[in-house]
């Protein structure tokens, strides 16, 4: 039986446990991703996390494999059952807000946009609101140059 993505404590650190490329991995959470899961969505140790949320966090760089696997490759390797953990509209909205606030690795932007379009997250965010680090930095450079 497949095990759904869930939160675990490892050395007093909250991690996201999911199947990646056929093996269970404890992914490191960024401070912002942990805040989303714990403070905004109310998840805690051993709680199942909906697959749609897990994949968005991995693609956006908020959940990563300690050995440094590329976000897009890790997201493509995600597998397992949702196990009844379904994201409601409030969760999808909060994930969309999270995605607006983060800079996504250039290589993962299009894959994240595709995930957003194919999932319920797309009702709360448009493709062009998901920005890469390069685009955001470029936009800031343009602002500074105009000053």
Nearest of 23, 22, 43 to residue 87 by alpha carbon: 43
Condensed to tens digits (0 to 9), the pLDDT of residues 17-58 reads 999 888 899 999 999 999 999 999 999 999 999 999 999 999
Higher pLDDT, 85 or 111: 111
Confidence of residue 73 (pLDDT cuts 50, 70, 90): confident
Contact 85, 54 (CB under 8 A): no
pTM, whole model, 2 decimals? 0.86
Give the Cα separation of 84 and 129 in Å (integer): 29
pLDDT of 138 over the 50 cut: no
Contact 7, 85 (CB under 8 A): no
Segment 129-146 mean pLDDT: 61
The share of the chain scoring above pLDDT 70, in percent, equals 85
pLDDT value, residue 71: 87
| Structure tokens, 76 | 């493509």
| Structure tokens, 144 | 């500074």
Eight-class DSSP state of 127: G
Nearest of 48, 73, 79, 49 to residue 59 by alpha carbon: 73
- By the 10 Å C-beta count (0-12 exposed, 13-18 middle, 19+ buried), 73 is classed as middle
Go through the chain and tell me how many residues it has. 147
pLDDT of 137 over the 50 cut: no
Residue with tokens 């269970």: 24
Higher pLDDT, 53 or 141: 53
């Amino acid at each position: 039986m497949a095990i759904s993505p869930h939160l675990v404590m490892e050395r007093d650190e909250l991690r996201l446990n999911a199947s990646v490329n056929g093996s269970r991995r404890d992914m490191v959470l960024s401070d912002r991703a942990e805040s989303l899961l714990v403070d905004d969505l109310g998840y805690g140790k051993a709680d199942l996390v909906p697959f749609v949320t897990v994949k968005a966090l991995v693609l956006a760089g908020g959940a990563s494999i300690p050995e440094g696997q590329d976000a897009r490759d890790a997201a493509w390797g995600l597998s397992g059952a949702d196990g009844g953990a379904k994201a409601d509209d409030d969760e999808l909205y909060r994930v969309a807000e999270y995605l607006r606030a983060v800079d996504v690795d250039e290589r993962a932007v299009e894959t994240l946009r595709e995930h957003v379009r194919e999932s319920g997250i797309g009702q709360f965010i448009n493709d062009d609101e998901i920005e890469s680090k390069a685009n955001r930095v470029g936009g800031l450079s343009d602002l500074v140059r105009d000053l």
